[in-house]
Amino acid sequence: MRLLIVKGWWYNECNFFVFISPFFTISLGLGEPEEDWRQCSLYGDTHLRTFGGELQTCRAIGARPLVDNAYFAVQVTNSPFGNKATVLSKVTVVIRAHGSCAMEKTYEADIKDSPLPRVFADGATLAGKGVRLMTLSPNRVELLLTHAGARLLIRRQGDFLSVALRLPLTLAGEQPLQLCLRGCSASERLPAPHGEPAWLLEEADVACRAANLTGAYLDACVFDVLATGQKDMAAEASGAAVADLQELGATTAHRIVQQPSAAMERRASAAAIFVGLLLAAGLHARGCTAAGAVR
């Protein structure tokens, strides 16, 4: 005997629900099942983990949309840090009105804020039945938008600000210009550091491993340490930001998607030219064969 499970969605009292049959309904409290979540994060100098699971290292100054949908938008601002680094300096969350579930509110976190604000920009602490702003620690806040199935974690650690978020797949692709969706442009992606002394690389690697980082996240942390010169603080901030992302259920990034080096670009260009010559030679040979057949 087979059991047919029918699954659908609606929300009630500003919370998502899932029903597994026409007769039984199970409340999940917040959002969709794990396989339908999408996670994104921006942290460090400056690393972007996209909805697609890519980890990119980017450099761009100014404000840009991280997420934008019918329920809320997140704008991030990057500023210069030292001689060769940029860091996330401001996070602005705009909550859009949605009946009794949400009032239009703005939450702002600045790198200069210590502790992070416990209230919205207008001084209010409430924003509707579906919105909860919670202080997890003096420099870590959480925003829950239960009517949208979304959760945001904002953290300040030393000179670093980070934001991590999780939302349902159905909200992930509403606006094509979101950084979380499209990532950084190729021109904004940074190549892996090179030419650094071996002892400096080793020190950075040891500090980042002490922050329990592995794989692509370890590489990103080493990049931060080298770029900022703040070995312990950069490693701790990177580890904390990745911990927030993993708390939201994000899988491990396997590699950093970076801008190709000049040498790689030259090799790719040479390979393309070589392939083009082979194709041209092949077409010429086939043309000659066809001409001989006509004769």
For residue 10, being part of any structural domain is answered with no
Alpha-carbon separation of residue 143 from 104, 140, 255 (angstroms):
14, 10, 29
Check which CATH number belongs to the domain holding 101 and give it.
3.40.1000.10
For residue 63, being part of any structural domain is answered with yes
For residue 3, being part of any structural domain is answered with no
Query: How many structural domains is the chain composed of?
Result: 1
Q: What is the pLDDT of residues 216-226, one digit of tens each?
A: 899 999 999 99
For residue 153, being part of any structural domain is answered with yes
State mean pLDDT over 213-217: 89
For residue 200, being part of any structural domain is answered with yes
Distance CA 260, CA 45 (A): 18
For residue 170, being part of any structural domain is answered with yes
State mean pLDDT over 10-19: 57
For residue 221, being part of any structural domain is answered with yes
Lowest mean pLDDT among 7-16, 102-111, 216-225, 278-287: 278-287
β-strands 256-257, 55-57 pairing: parallel
Give the domain extent around 202.
Answer: 34-255
Q: What is the pLDDT of residues 237-288, one digit of tens each?
A: 889 988 998 899 887 665 555 543 333 333 333 333 333 433 344 434 444 4
Structure-token match 């917040």, residue found: 30
Task: Calculate the CA 196 to chain-centre distance.
Answer: 28
For residue 260, being part of any structural domain is answered with no
| pTM passes above 0.75 | yes
